[in-house]
A and B are shown apart, each in its own frame.
Chain A
């Protein structure tokens, strides 16, 4: 890995943790809009952000999650699989908007991994948990699309690495 890629991804991971810890989620009813959740869209602009996002999820769970080891294994697993799929899809689809929507759907669908975690740890009913967590993820990731797009106009993620 190039030094620049390594350092930028490390700082991105730190930013993920910092934003998770400092900015309170914006909530409406049972769905919480967690700002770092939309960092998942960064990989659409540049696949090299993969490691930074994964590390951000890992460190946030390690440092702040009460369910630590569970959230590390399943949370990182969920992000890695979803990001991997979108990177794969990006080889065939070049339209950014389509990829952002696909990313939202992939992340939401893959919430079955988190539903399985909750079933394992707490005995929650799998299908109901999958449904509710997937709807929550779908809403926050969909809201994240215009925000990350606006952000990209200013920051130019695709030219960063």
Chain B
């Protein structure tokens, strides 16, 4: 098994962030992603940075996990900074050599957008680092509950998510196993002409699809044999409950949002 099999990179813990109701985390992160765009000056960026870093330290998730999650986007963050350095022609010219003209506005904008992007990734990563996929499923089901009134299949969606999460590790192992089995028969996925490498995908996907759909067939039959009839009247093993700490976090976030708008207007 490789590192990719650590689904969602959940890091077990007992911190305040871990213990928050998953609905609270999803709601706050959802609104954070929107309000982060309100920041437009040093004090307002200071507020969103303080909130994001505060959440990170409170979660007690080891820094190395967070940095590992950021590995794929460092390039994007640096590229964004460089792009704005070249494209933005505002402020005063501070570097002029050959065709390279850098303005102070480019540095400021590049830095601001890169910082905003970094904060977005940091905060959204905290959701999956401190919440199990099953908790996220439960939270989504609860949050979509009002849609049942318009006959939206909320229970079915939650069940689909649970079944998928159950099968992901199994199918990952299966994919690796078939990939290795085909490699041992001489199929080469990594080298050779592109055409051959793409053709090599077919003998990998055929057994994978056949095996996956066979599993689905068996599960569907087992569910029907046990009388599964949808979500009507079903009770739950895990019940979500909003605690005092959730309300406090909502109030804190409301203060952050208010601070953000005040500093934007007067900062």
Q: What is the interface of chain A, defined by CB distance below 8 A to chain B?
A: 1, 3-4, 6-15, 17-19, 21-24, 26, 28, 33, 35, 51, 55-56, 59, 62-64, 66-70, 121-125, 143, 147, 150-151, 154-155, 160
Distance in angstroms between the alpha carbons of A125 and B228 in the assembled complex? 51
Binds A, one of B42-50, B215-223, B247-255: B215-223
B164–A11 contact, CB under 8 A? yes
- Additional A-B contacts beyond A18-B171, A24-B189 (8; CB < 8 A): A3-B220, A11-B164, A11-B167, A14-B170, A15-B208, A22-B176, A150-B202, A154-B206
Are A17 and B168 interface neighbours, CB within 8 A?
Answer: yes
Chain A residue nearest to B133 in the complex (CB): A63
Q: A123 and B30: CB pair below 8 A? A: no
Asked if residues A63 and B160 are in contact (CB atoms below 8 Å), the reply is no
Q: Is the CB of B113 within 8 A of A15?
A: no
Contacts of B127 in A (CB 8 A): 68
Contact A66 B202, beta carbon cutoff 8 Å: no
* 6 residue pairs, one from A and one from B, having the closest CB atoms: A10-B163, A14-B167, A18-B171, A11-B216, A68-B124, A7-B220
Question: Beyond A14-B163, A66-B121, is A4–B212 a contact (Cβ under 8 Å)?
Answer: no
Asked if A11 and B212 make an inter-chain contact with CB atoms under 8 angstroms apart, the answer reads yes
Kindly report which residue of chain B lies nearest to residue A8, judged by CB atoms.
B216
Interface-facing stretch out of B56-64, B89-97, B193-201, B234-242: B193-201
Q: Which of A23, A28, A59, A147 sits near B168, CB closer than 8 Å? A: A59
Across-interface contacts of A7 in B (CB, < 8 A): 163, 216, 219-220, 223
Tell me how far the C-beta of B184 lies from the nearest C-beta in chain A, rounded to whole angstroms. Answer: 16
The dominant DSSP class at the B interface is helix
What residues of chain A lie closer than 8 Å to B161, measured between beta carbons?
Answer: 10, 55, 59
Does the CB pair B202–A123 fall under 8 Å? no
- The reply to whether A155 and B175 contact each other, CB–CB distance below 8 Å, is no
B4 contacts which chain A residues (CB < 8 A)?
Answer: 21-22, 64
What per-residue 1/0 map shows which CB atoms of B120-134 lie under 8 Å from chain A? 110011011000010
Contact partner of A122 among B76, B163, B190, CB < 8 A?
B76
In the assembled complex, the CB of A53 is this many whole angstroms from the nearest CB of chain B, namely 12
Contact of B223 among A3, A12, A24, A55 (CB under 8 A): A3
Residue of B160, B208, B209 with most chain A CB atoms under a 10 A cut-off: B160
Would you mind naming 18 contact pairs between A and B with Cβ atoms under 8 Å apart? A4-B216, A4-B220, A6-B156, A7-B219, A8-B216, A10-B159, A11-B163, A14-B171, A15-B171, A21-B4, A22-B176, A23-B179, A24-B189, A56-B164, A66-B70, A68-B124, A121-B120, A147-B201
Contacts of B76 in A (CB 8 A): 122
Question: Which residues of B in the span 76-112 have a Cβ within 8 Å of any Cβ on A?
Answer: 76, 80, 83-84, 87, 109
CB A152 to nearest CB in B, in angstroms, measures: 10
Neighbouring B residues of A124 by C-beta, 8 Å: 80, 83
- A144 to B105 alpha-carbon distance, docked (Å): 44
Contact A147 B198 (CB under 8 A): yes
Measured between alpha carbons, how far is A124 from B179 in the docked complex, in Å?
Answer: 37
User: Taking the nearest CB of chain B, how far is it from the CB of A94, in angstroms?
Assistant: 24
Q: Which residue of B lies closest to A143 (CB)?
A: B198
A18, A121, A154: the one within 8 Å of B175 (CB): A18
Q: Of B5, B171, B209, which contacts A151 at CB under 8 A?
A: B209
Give Cα A107–Cα B235 distance, bound, in whole angstroms.
41
Which single member of A1, A18, A63 contacts B156 (CB below 8 Å)? A1
